[in-house]
Amino acid sequence: MKIQRVQCWLLRIPFHFPLVREEQYAMANFVEIETDDGIKGHAMSTYPMRFGVREYINREAAPIIKGMDPMRTEEIRNKVFWATARKYFHGSWNCAMSLIDIALWDVKGKALNQPIWKLLGGAHAQVPAYITFGLPRYSIDELIEVARMLIKDGQRSLKMVVAKGSNPYDEILGEPTDADILQDAKRVAALREAVGPDIELMMDANKGATYAQALRLAKLCEPYNLAWFEDPVLQGDPRLMAKLRTQTTIPIAAGSTATSDLMFLREYLLREAVDYLQPNVRDIGGFTQAAKAAAMAQAFNVPLAMGGNYPHMNMHLHGGVQNGGRVEFHWQGWKCVEQLFDNAPGPVNGTLTLPTAPGLGFTPKTGILDLAVD
């Protein structure tokens, strides 16, 4: 079996946030790898440098890996690294290689007639799930309303965005002011009061807060029994995160979106900076590298927890490894995948049941490429 074709498209996917009237659009890279015996593997994710990811896959990586054995994911990553990256293995390169690796594992699972989570070890047929819903654009009343909608639907674990600031280019990322941090604390307090003590709550700063801001927010929110404070400091700095962890009772989680190499995760563990490690397969290098991240965490007795969107790929990592944990259903990625793929599972009463179909366990719907843009 050989790789016959590799192609990446950019899809403009419409979706809606709860309570938001205007239609939103996600710009997602969609990859398909086809073998010479007709097996097709897929992967999809949104990225900031989406045009760069698309062009790199189509113009640089595809010619290199054509004709290679799709089962040899380590060989493929190594060959593409030395051919195109060499010293520069972060950013768009690793995002692109993550998608390629995920699609290769989809091929591998279909060729062996096994779901990926079983190929990774098959530790858990079910995993806990949580919902990321708390958009900064919501007023406090709207935040509470959406939370109650999700709780009524059976969800028991919810995460909200903090430290967003006023960035017109992104829904959840930005540069917060000190006033924003105080407002975030008020929102956390109001949400906890509204949902009561039995609902699990998390907050995520998306690597946007300064150390001083993160410390202040953590101290203000300690009374509200948060499950974790995710990516609390600017650029995910391991040194500052380790320092913060000694100054707050809120558990620290990190390593999600934009953590694109194992060296970052190694530093989190060596510096004792995290209570939960969060490798995301769409950033860390696909399942090939994510399995290594999970093994590193297990060696330190640190559990995994997903962060960074796209649960339908990451669920396989958490189902596969012994220290797998909660899978994040971020509204955008959750609904985009449901819209474009058949048989994509969702959380039921806070639990996700892993698919039994081979590979990723879900397949592109007819007409998915109608959303492709130039």
pLDDT in tens, 115-147: 999 999 999 999 999 999 999 999 999 999 999
Q: Which CATH class is domain 3-113?
A: alpha beta
Per-residue CA distances from 190 to 87, 195, 224 (Å): 47, 9, 10
Using CA atoms, how far apart are residues 77 and 258, in angstroms rounded to an integer? 19
Residue 258's pLDDT band, with cuts at 50, 70 and 90, is confident
Half-sphere exposure of 240 (CA within 13 A, CB side): 16
Tally of CB atoms within 10 A around 46: 20
- What mean pLDDT comes out for the span 172-190? 92
- In this prediction, what percent of the chain has a pLDDT beyond 70? 98
Tens-place pLDDT, residues 222-243: 999 999 999 999 999 999 999 9
Residue 259's pLDDT band, with cuts at 50, 70 and 90, is confident
Look up residue 118 and give its two tokens. 């079983």
Whether 291 and 73 have beta carbons less than 8 Å apart is answered as no
Residue-averaged pLDDT of the chain: 95
Tens-place pLDDT, residues 26-52: 999 999 999 999 999 999 999 989 999
The pLDDT value given to residue 252: 98
Q: How many residues does the chain have?
A: 374
- What mean pLDDT comes out for the span 177-181? 95
The pLDDT value given to residue 175: 87
pTM of the shown model: 0.96
Whether 31 and 44 have beta carbons less than 8 Å apart is answered as yes
Phi/psi for 252 (5° steps) reads: -105, 135
Domain ranges of the chain: 3-113, 117-363
Q: Give yes or no for residue 5 having a pLDDT over 60.
A: yes
Residue 92's pLDDT band, with cuts at 50, 70 and 90, is confident
Q: How far is CA 158 from the centre of its chain?
A: 15
* Residue scoring higher pLDDT (188 or 135): 188
> What contacts 279, CB < 8 A, 6 or more positions away?
255, 256, 259, 265, 289, 290, 293, 294, 297, 304, 317
Tens-place pLDDT, residues 280-290: 999 999 999 99
Q: Give yes or no for residue 103 having a pLDDT over 60.
A: yes
The pLDDT value given to residue 174: 78
Task: Mark 92-107 as b/e (b = at least 16 C-beta within 10 Å).
Answer: bbbbbbbbbbbbbbbb
The pLDDT value given to residue 169: 57
Taking the domain 117-363, which CATH number applies?
A: 3.20.20.120
Using CA atoms, how far apart are residues 43 and 41, in angstroms rounded to an integer? 7
Residue 86's pLDDT band, with cuts at 50, 70 and 90, is confident
The pLDDT value given to residue 26: 95
